[in-house]
């Protein structure tokens, strides 16, 4: 049995009941979910997604609101530029695509905040187009089951897409199922820390297992920088202050948020440059 067949059969029996997998969940909802899921766990996305789609059922609805409303509704999902990008993407979809999320990967890739993963995820999951979908879960599953390595190592779009393509069935519907199934396997069984090989449909064919689980030795991804004391933390504090205020936040109020003036000014300038903060006569506010 092929990897696609084994993982697909497992998926049909074990998949989680997630909102974006519901029958009739539209392309817009899938696009919003994919943006929210970028580097953000499923459990934190679900409630925010449902509120978002209730308020903005189509791209044009979102485009009709100020971008700051999107940033505010994003709340604490993190990486608020995703909210800004999603608003910008919705505007393009409303104005140039007839308020319909594109199904073409090339079109999707031109939208802000949509990269190699998200473009193919939308094309595959929302429209059934046959494309390899590669996220961190897929990379890990293929590294182990196929390449026999414990970790995927640094990403390479070309190599990663080719690796998944080699596993993908020809039939588009089967390919869509395989994409979802391999992702799901990586998310709940072939996990980064403690893989549950006893529950894995690939246990008998896994190259990493067959090799005796050799430790990973290749190049390691750069370690994530410390968050405490970082510019990220300062940006987060400023954004939280702006989200929580209906009126412009004064320079004095921002000064109270962080003692280091140089770092504070750098963070604020960065937020303004990113379009997440607008400087006005009365202070600083969301766009």
Partner DNA sequence: GACCCGTGGAT
Partner DNA sequence: TATCCAAGGGT
Question: Tokens for 177?
Answer: 């199922």
- Residue 280 interacts with DNA (CB under 7 A)? no
Respond yes or no: is residue 253 known to be catalytic: no
Q: How far is the CB of 257 from DNA (least distance, A)?
A: 11
156 binds DNA (CB under 7 A): yes
Size of the site for DNA (CB under 7 A): 62
Q: Dihedral, CA atoms, 18, 185, 77, 73, nearest 10 degrees?
A: -30
Tell me the sheet residues that pair with 278: 285
Question: Which residue spans within 125-264 are E strands per DSSP?
Answer: none
25 versus 65: smaller Cβ distance to DNA:
25
Region of residue 81 (left: phi > 0; alpha: psi -120 to 50; beta: else)? alpha
Interior/surface letters 171-208, b for 16+ CB within 10 angstroms, e for the rest: eeeebbbbbbbbbbbbbebbeeeebeeeebbbeeebeb
Asked if 215 touches DNA (CB under 7 A), the answer is no
Pick the binder of DNA from 232, 275, 279, 285 (CB under 7 A): 232
Residues composing the chain: 287
222 is a site residue for DNA (CB under 7 A): yes
**Cα pseudo-dihedral 85, 90, 93, 95, rounded to 10:** -110
Which CB sits closer to DNA, 106 or 170? 106
**Of 4, 68, 80, the residue nearest 39 (C-alpha):** 80
C-alpha–C-alpha distance, residues 141 and 149, integer Å? 10
**Among residues 3, 121, 146, 164, which is the contact residue for DNA, using CB under 7 A?**
121
Of the residues 79, 147, 241, 245, which one makes contact with DNA according to CB under 7 A: 79
What is the C-alpha separation between 276 and 13, in angstroms, rounded? Answer: 43
118 binds DNA (CB under 7 A): yes
User: Segment near DNA (CB under 7 A), from 50-58, 197-205, 246-254, 270-278?
Assistant: 270-278
* Span 183-202, contacts to DNA by CB under 7 A: 183-184, 186-187, 191-194
Closer by beta carbon to DNA, 39 or else 250? 39
Among candidate residues 5, 23, 34, 228, the one labeled active-site is 34
Active site positions, annotated = 34
Which residues of this chain interact with DNA, rule CB under 7 A? 18, 20-21, 33-34, 37-42, 44, 76-81, 85, 112-119, 121, 135-137, 140, 154-156, 183-184, 186-187, 191-194, 222-227, 230-233, 235-237, 239-240, 267, 270-271, 276
């Amino acid at each position: 049995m092929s990897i696609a067949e084994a993982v697909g059969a497992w998926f049909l029996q074990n998949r989680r009941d997630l909102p974006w997998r519901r029958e009739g969940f539209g392309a817009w909802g899938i696009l919003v979910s994919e943006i929210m899921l970028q580097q953000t766990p499923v459990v934190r996305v679900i409630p925010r997604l449902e509120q978002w789609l209730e308020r903005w059922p189509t791209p044009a609805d979102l485009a009709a609101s100020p971008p700051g409303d999107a940033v505010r509704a994003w709340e604490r999902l993190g990486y608020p530029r995703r909210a800004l990008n999603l608003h910008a993407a919705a505007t393009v979809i409303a104005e140039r695509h007839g308020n319909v999320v594109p199904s073409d990967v090339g079109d999707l890739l031109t939208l802000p905040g949509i990269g190699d993963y998200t473009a193919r995820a939308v094309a595959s999951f929302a429209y059934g187009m046959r494309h390899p979908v590669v996220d961190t879960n897929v990379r890990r599953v293929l590294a182990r089951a196929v390449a026999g390595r414990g970790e995927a190592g640094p990403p390479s779009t070309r190599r990663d897409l080719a690796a998944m393509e080699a596993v993908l069935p020809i039939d588009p519907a089967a390919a869509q199922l395989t994409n979802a199934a391999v992702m799901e396997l990586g998310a709940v069984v072939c996990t980064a820390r403690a893989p549950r090989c006893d529950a894995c449909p690939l246990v008998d064919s896994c190259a990493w297992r067959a090799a005796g689980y050799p430790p990973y030795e290749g190049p390691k991804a750069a370690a994530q920088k410390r968050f405490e004391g970082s510019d990220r933390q300062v940006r987060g504090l400023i954004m939280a202050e702006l989200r929580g205020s209906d009126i412009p936040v004064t320079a004095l109020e921002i000064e109270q948020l962080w003692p280091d003036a140089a770092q504070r000014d750098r963070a604020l300038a960065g937020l303004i440059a990113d379009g997440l903060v607008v400087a006005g006569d009365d202070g600083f506010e969301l766009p």
